[in-house]
Structure 1
Amino acid sequence: MLKKRMINLLATGFYTGLSPIAPGTVGTIAALIFALVWIQKYTISFAFILIFVCGGTLISQWAEELYGVKDASQIVIDEWAGFFIAVFGLGVDKFLLAFILFRIFDIFKPPPIRNLQKFHGGIGIMLDDILAGLMANILLRVALNFF
């Protein structure tokens, strides 16, 4: 029972994924707030992201089994991971732009993000958001170099 509650708590991004409206966006807003608080004392390092992605893959796998639905909308730990990748190495002043770009890539899923939807389980849940975060980060860095 405790394991199920912990999976639900973490997979839903502290229950933000239970929002009846735009659970992915609400979950990403929670990740943004968490990131703003986290960086007051720590940094969003590569090690942090690696641990989060590995843990998130496991948790999302368990959550998918718990809910019995492929990539259930209430699972937003993948949005958290993608957002952390989107802001990796950027200053706090770029977090809002990273948020917007990440959500655009995550919602519209342009190729090659869309192609990752064919994977199943925790890996399938996480991969598209990881790539959306990576694309948002790279695009933002390129744009900042030109402006």
Structure 2
Amino acid sequence: MNTAELIASAGGAGYAPKAPGTFGSLVGLLIGTILLQLGHGPLITGIIVASVIGLWAVWAVGGQNDPGWIVIDEVAGQMITMLALPRISALGLLLAFGLFRLFDIWKPGPVGLADRRHDALGVMADDWVAGLIGLICLTVLVRLLPGGWL
């Protein structure tokens, strides 16, 4: 496995025999949790780094049609949704994970539109958009739920 494949597969998580996207999202949840403990700034930095090296890696492996083993896009998208969390909690992490996976799999509106691009940008963009929609929904939940729940 070369460097681009290692990055694109999120350290090999993309080679999981079943549900590689879910495993990629779990990698994003783990990295995002570590970064969020340090604050939202480090989480934003992590999103930028995952996105930039992800774009390069997807381009380098020729992943224009988003093969299942490429999951660096899920890592970045999952961390985007986590930006809504005011702090780390089991419920918050579960909601962030569930919302991102919902929009990544369902691909409503702009997520599906981004998914139809057949290039490295399209591979990454559908997960960025799914992450943004998850971020919006989770932000609403954070504001609606009583203080301390998330």
Deviations 1:33-59 (A, max 9, x none): 222234445654433322321221111
User: Does 2:34 correspond to 1:37?
Assistant: yes
Retained in 1: the 8 A contact 2:84–2:138?
no
Q: Which runs of 5+ in 1 are unaligned?
A: none
User: Does 2:25 correspond to 1:28?
Assistant: yes
Retained in 1: the 8 A contact 2:37–2:88?
no
Task: Identify which of 79, 82, 85 aligns with 2:80.
Answer: 85
User: Does 2:34 correspond to 1:75?
Assistant: no
3-state SS of 2:70 partner: coil
3-state SS of 1:7 partner: helix
Percent identical across equivalent pairs?
Answer: 33
> 1:23/1:121 Cα in 2 relative to 1: closer, same or farther (>3 Å)?
same
Distance 1:45 1:16 in 2: 20
* Correspondence for 1:55: 53
Which one-letter code corresponds to 1:114 in the other structure? G
* Correspondence for 1:116: 114
3-state SS of 1:72 partner: coil
Q: Which runs of 5+ in 2 are unaligned?
A: 146-150
TM-score normalised by the chain length of structure 1? 0.86
3-state SS of 1:73 partner: coil
Deviations 1:78-124 (A, max 9, x none): 00000110101512122221110000000111112111122122101
Q: CA RMSD in A?
A: 1.9
Which one-letter code corresponds to 1:72 in the other structure? P
TM-score normalised by the chain length of structure 2? 0.84
Which one-letter code corresponds to 2:67 in the other structure? A
Task: Identify which of 13, 16, 29 aligns with 1:16.
Answer: 13
Which one-letter code corresponds to 2:88 in the other structure? V
